[in-house]
Amino acid sequence: MQFAEMVKEARLQARLSQRGLAEQLVTAQKPDGVWATYIGQIEKGDKVPSDEVCIKLAEVLELDSSVVLLAAYQAKAGSEQGRELFAKMARSLTDPVVSKLLASEEPLDPAILEALVDSDTRSLLGDQSWLEAIARARKTQKKRDVLGMLALVEAMDDKQWSVIMGMIETMGLELPD
């Protein structure tokens, strides 16, 4: 969302007039607030306020200050590449996974990042039945080494696989679809 649109939409949701918002934007640089005409210029996209005013806007309008600042930087960017970069950064901040990572006090294990680069891993993470099966396997890890068994099955040659499948069939078991 464009900075100007974000400010206007949030102001309207807060049921504030431009004047009402302007009066609340009290900062060290603007101890009396800003002028209502300045809010109009911001909402038209004619002006982009300072960081200090952006942070106060976020506070008054109950918006995430990081998202507001990034949208302002995007509006200030002097090139299309700059605007695209800030748009990507803003999308990243609103991504729930990135938000959790940023909120975490623990650094992300590099092995996890490496795994997420793999398209097969990302595909697996999108498959609910696999995720549920892996979660169940982790819960039974102490009783049954399902994940270790999976590694053994994956390493089997075709003849070994056929023998295992024959045993499963003899036991009257069927693999789920």
Per-residue pLDDT of the chain (177 residues; tens, 9 = 90+): 689 999 999 999 999 999 999 999 998 888 888 999 999 999 999 999 999 999 999 999 999 998 899 899 999 998 999 888 988 888 887 788 777 777 888 877 788 778 778 888 888 888 888 888 888 888 887 788 887 888 888 899 999 999 988 998 899 888 776
Q: What is the pTM of this model?
A: 0.57
**What letters, b where the CB count within 10 A reaches 16 and e where it falls short, cover 92-128?**
eeeeeeeeeeeeeeeeeeeeeeeeeeeeeeeeeeeee
Contacts made by residues 18-25, CB under 8 angstroms, sequence distance 24+? 18/43, 21/57, 21/60, 21/61, 24/56, 24/60, 25/53, 25/56, 25/57, 25/60
From the centroid of its chain, how far is CA 128? Answer: 19
Contact 137, 153 (CB under 8 A): no
Helix (H/G/I), strand (E/B), else coil: 65: helix
